[in-house]
Structure 1
Amino acid sequence: MSSPRTRFYRDKVNGKFMGVCSGIADYTGVDALWIRLGFLILAFSMGWPFFLYFALGILASKKPGYLYSDREEQKFWQGVRQSPARTAREVRASFRDIDRRLADVESFYVNSNPRLSAEIEKLR
């Protein structure tokens, strides 16, 4: 099952013609200007990218407006599409950091409150 955030969409809002280059830029995280320049160079040197562009423009779905809530979420999902393993490692590292910080907070409150410490020891 594929998440809607990991699929390719045409980006008509930020696109110039059909939104294909802008969709590729959104999908990969590369600036749309570089995608457009690369497409133009390929298209004028080979010719077949025009057909691919129109095929993607017709077949690809339009990007839903509710896909990302903010820029940070968009960057996260671009990272997931680029390297899922690296993103999983980063998320695990974030959770380890949160767990460590929570243990520090718990330790602070337990050590500074002997009555609470005694109550926790009774529960064990």
Structure 2
Amino acid sequence: MTSQRTRFYLDKQNAKWSGVCAGIADYTGMDVTLVRIGVVLMTIMGGFPWTLIAYWIAAATAPRKPLDLYDEAPEEKKFWQGVRANPKRITRDVRSRFRDIDRRLADVEAYVTSSNSRLAREIEQLR
């Protein structure tokens, strides 16, 4: 499933013509309007035949985006866009989160296993 989420797809749901710019925006996490403006500027500023040829090739060869690609949540979409853009940074962020969770869990474990008379009374009251 992860390889499916890290591929480039044509985004036909947000497409103006064939979904290439919308697919690039989805792949990189950028705003689709900025991608479209960038493609138009590249075409006008001297890349006239090549940007159109690249656009048509991408439109002909790229698969359509599956409808259920990001069913979970919007944060899931942002996570996978981050993985595509900078995998090392995302890995570092995930490790940092796990370290924080591990530290908090160790604090809870130390609190529960310590000789805490108030906690022992609360546990006894629950019985």
Q: Which of 68, 73, 76 pairs up with 1:73?
A: 76
Q: What's the offset of the Cα at 1:106?
A: 1.0
TM-score under structure 1 length normalisation: 0.85
The CA RMSD over aligned residues, in Å, is 1.7
The 5 Å alignment of 1:41-60 reads 41-45=41-45, 46-47=47-48, 48-60=50-62
**Amino acid aligned to 1:97:** D
User: Which of 63, 71, 86 is the equivalent residue of 1:83?
Assistant: 86
Shift of 1:44: 2.7
Question: Offset of 1:57 from its aligned partner?
Answer: 0.7
| TM-score of the two chains, using structure 2 as the length reference | 0.83
**Is 1:94 aligned with 2:67?**
no
Query: 2:37 matched to 1:26?
Result: no
Matched, 1:63 2:65: yes
Distance in structure 1 (CA, Å) of the matches to 2:63 and 2:3: 14
Gaps of 5+ in 2: 121-127
Where does structure 1 differ by over 3 angstroms across 4 or more consecutive aligned residues? none
Q: Indicate the percent of aligned positions where both proteins have the same amino acid.
A: 50
1:39 aligns with 2:42: no
Instruction: Quote the Cα distance in structure 1 between the aligned partners of 2:33 and 2:25.
Output: 8
Question: Could you tell me which residue of structure 2 aligns to residue 4 of structure 1?
Answer: 4
Secondary structure at 1:40 match in 2: helix
Amino acid of the structure 1 residue aligned with 2:31: D
2:13 corresponds in structure 1 to 13
Residue type of the alignment partner of 2:24: I
Q: Which shifted more, 33-42 or 104-113?
A: 104-113
The equivalent of 1:108 in structure 2 is 111
